[in-house]
């Protein structure tokens, strides 16, 4: 490489990629580049169709909204280089410097960052600061495979200005809500304690925290309720055993269950009323969008959504899969599926699967289509590029994507279901259900959704022998969970956040100390939730965020201006913050107690947290007053079903391991020690 080759003379075309690895892929796809560097950051110089082209990369976002104004409210900002205002982002300066070295001398500018709102904003801000957006165009591609890059360069499109405007509006709205509410929380704490502690709130973050807190309360306020069931093991004349269960009835309590068991043992047999068989056709699952991939990786391998997203982005940068941050479950006919399958045939582990698929389809490749769409990108699919060395986790995610892609072209699976209806001489009904996979179909390629088989024998006799009868007491469990994946599903269902931001927002809740690693909402998280619900109610539900998402779509499609949406947000914030200022001392105190900076003035009898109510002489916090009420209401039902006293029911709850809400358990144990608390439970 000579100095002359890397010397930049004005008048070239500059292509701006989002990351260095993507920049190198683009440069190599378009020609024979010379790799140059500026302060250690690479860029590539090449000739394309006789024109000098320079490919240079960013490192994600280089600009963000910023203000030098202290305090709150603050509504004025400018877009500044991130490294100038955030000491932790100093590494971005070298990327800014290479862009400042390369971009200004170009005569035309090509945005080649990821084709989504975030990528469009990244590139636009660079061109706006260092070049000229009027001379800019857009490369649109869904994979970094060479043929896709060359096709995108040959079909340059106008700069996606409406998408840029929507992206800028998203960042500005998030900044306005985030900085004002976050500063409001921190200001109250600092006024009360003199301490500076980082707290945060946001347009998407806060409703997600509120949902996590709602779930945490339900988990910890759960009082297990017992249910009695009768399980019967029967035997055919051929000696084949299987289990049957009550159909349409259940014992009201343990005494009735004991009577049923005694009666069944004396009867000795059940009469077979009917045996029905049916077959269910199960369509193949569509190719993944990012959310589906994150859910499956969490279910099968326990990966967090953020980890799966990062692994998928790495695979994309290696040109092994298409762009992963997509909502689409559709594969368009424009993709050369036959070529991809022929390439996958040469990838270790997939040869026999591909051959089987081509034989099964006869070469007619029509993928099943899901419902979700994304105007920017198709569903995630493998490019057919041969993987080099992949880590175990990268390989697992790649395998999920390849297998799901293959399954989308396969045939329906067929599930066989058998149902046996039985009756005893007293007219009580029983049933047994069996399930078998009659035809694997797509499950050969994607076995992770294959159901567990339960074979019921063929029954021709009119009755079966009762071999044993058992009584089981099962206790209810909380219906909600707090995991990263369950929060991601909730965000998708209520339509807040985007494919690329949801996982990051969930991680922020953990990083701020609002949620701990085992999925426990901390006292700080609970307190921030209560403050948001009371003083910033618009941030406590998804409605505000969904409303602004619709407005962002209006901006994207030219129906509304960015400025009008920004002004609406400011007006809403002004109203909320004026109410908030009247309660600064109260907020500061509540946060100080949650952070253990100062002790509560009225400690709870059970846990020492701030009490909110006094019952008799017993002070209780919000957690344990609710737990007391739930437990008192449940003890009567527990004693009736198990035929025991309320005192014994309380002992059962206090000594029960697993399933009992933490706050309920704490109240139950404390009540066994303190007569005053026991009286409040009517024991």
Please identify every residue annotated as catalytic: 323
Q: Angle 392-407/337-344 helices, nearest 10 degrees?
A: 130
Assigned token pair, 56: 């240079």
On the CB side of 273, CA atoms within 13 Å amount to 14
Q: In this structure, are residues 135 and 156 in contact, taking their beta carbons and an 8 Å threshold?
A: no
Give yes or no for a contact between 416 and 234, defined as CB atoms under 8 angstroms apart.
Answer: no
CB 402 within 8 A of CB 315: no
Distances (CA, A) of 143 to 14, 152, 385, 494: 20, 10, 11, 29
Phi-psi region of 682 (alpha: psi -120 to 50; beta: other; left: phi over 0): left
**CA angle, 227 as apex, 221 and 228 as ends, to 5°?**
160
Tokens 């060479």, located at residue: 146
Q: Report the alpha-carbon angle 580-585-587, nearest 5.
A: 60
* Strands ordered across the beta sheet of 108-112: 34-38, 41-48, 51-57, 13-17, 108-112, 136-138, 157-158
What's the rounded Cα separation, in Å, for the pair 609 and 662? 15
The tokens describing 98, both together, are: 């290479």
Diameter of the chain by CA atoms? 100
- Whether the Cβ atoms of residue 443 and residue 202 lie closer than 8 Å to each other: no
- Closest CA relative to residue 267, chosen from 42, 399, 46, 423: 423
> CA-to-CA distance for 284 and 286, rounded, in angstroms?
6
């Amino acid at each position: 490489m000579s100095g002359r080759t890397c010397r930049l003379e004005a008048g070239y075309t500059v292509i701006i990629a989002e990351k260095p690895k993507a920049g190198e892929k683009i440069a190599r796809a378009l020609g024979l580049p010379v790799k140059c560097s500026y302060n250690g950051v690479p860029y590539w110089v090449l000739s394309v169709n006789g024109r000098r082209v320079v490919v240079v990369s960013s490192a994600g976002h280089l600009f963000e909204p910023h203000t030098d104004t202290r305090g709150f409210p603050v509504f004025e900002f400018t877009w500044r280089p991130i490294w100038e205002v955030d000491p932790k982002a100093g590494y971005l300066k070298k990327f800014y410097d290479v862009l400042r070295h390369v971009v200004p001398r170009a005569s035309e500018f090509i945005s080649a960052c990821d084709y989504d709102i975030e990528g469009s904003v990244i590139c636009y801000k660079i061109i706006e600061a260092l070049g000229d957006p009027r001379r800019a165009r857009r490369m649109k591609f869904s994979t970094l495979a060479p043929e896709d890059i060359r096709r995108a360069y040959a079909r340059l499109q106008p700069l996606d200005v409406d998408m840029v405007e929507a992206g800028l509006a998203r960042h500005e709205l998030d900044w306005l809500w985030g900085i004002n509410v976050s500063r409001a929380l921190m200001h109250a704490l600092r006024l009360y304690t003199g301490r500076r502690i980082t707290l945060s709130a946001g347009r998407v973050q806060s409703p997600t925290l509120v949902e996590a807190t709602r779930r945490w309360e339900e988990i910890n306020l759960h009082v297990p309720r017992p249910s009695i069931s009768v399980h019967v093991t029967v035997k055919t004349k051929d000696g084949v055993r299987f289990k049957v269960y009550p159909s349409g009835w259940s014992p009201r309590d343990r005494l009735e269950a004991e009577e049923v068991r005694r009666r069944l043992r004396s009867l000795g047999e059940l009469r077979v009323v009917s045996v029905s068989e049916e077959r269910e056709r199960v369509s193949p699952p569509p190719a993944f969008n990012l959310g589906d991939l994150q859910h499956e990786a969490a279910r099968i391998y326990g990966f967090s959504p953020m980890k799966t997203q990062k692994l998928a982005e790495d695979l994309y940068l290696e040109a092994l899969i298409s762009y992963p941050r997509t909502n689409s479950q559709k594969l368009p006919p424009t993709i050369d599926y036959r070529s991809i399958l022929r390439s996958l045939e040469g990838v270790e582990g997939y040869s026999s699967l591909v051959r089987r698929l081509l034989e099964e389809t006869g070469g007619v490749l029509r993928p099943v289509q899901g419902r979700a769409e994304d105007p920017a990108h198709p569903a995630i699919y493998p490019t057919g590029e041969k993987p080099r060395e992949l880590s175990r986790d990268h390989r697992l995610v790649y395998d999920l994507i390849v297998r799901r892609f293959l399954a989308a072209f396969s045939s329906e699976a067929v599930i066989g279901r058998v149902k046996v209806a039985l009756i005893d001489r007293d007219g009580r009904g029983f049933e047994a259900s069996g399930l078998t996979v009659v035809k694997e179909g797509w499950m050969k390629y994607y076995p992770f959704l294959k159901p567990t088989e339960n074979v019921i024998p063929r029954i021709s006799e009119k009755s079966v022998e009762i071999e044993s009868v058992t009584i089981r007491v099962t206790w209810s469990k909380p219906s909600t969970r707090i995991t990263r994946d369950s929060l991601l599903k909730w965000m998708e269902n209520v339509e807040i956040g985007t494919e690329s931001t949801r996982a990051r927002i969930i991680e922020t809740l953990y990083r701020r100390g609002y949620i701990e690693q085992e999925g426990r909402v901390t006292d700080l998280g609970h307190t921030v939730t209560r403050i948001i619900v009371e003083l910033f109610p618009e941030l406590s539900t998804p409605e505000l965020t969904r409303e602004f998402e619709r407005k962002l779509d209006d901006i994207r499609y030219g129906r509304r201006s960015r400025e009008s949406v920004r002004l609406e947000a400011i007006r809403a914030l002004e109203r909320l913050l004026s109410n908030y200022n009247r309660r600064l001392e109260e907020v500061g105190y509540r946060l100080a107690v949650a952070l253990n900076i100062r002790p509560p003035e009225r400690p709870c009898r059970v846990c020492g947290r701030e009490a909110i109510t006094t019952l008799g002489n017993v002070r209780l916090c919000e957690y344990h007053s609710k737990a007391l009420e739930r437990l008192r209401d449940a003890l009567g039902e527990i004693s009736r079903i198990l035929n025991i006293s309320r005192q014994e029911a309380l002992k059962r709850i206090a000594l029960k391991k697993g399933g009992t809400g933490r706050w309920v358990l704490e109240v139950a144990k404390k009540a066994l020690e303190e007569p005053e608390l026991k009286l409040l439970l009517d024991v």
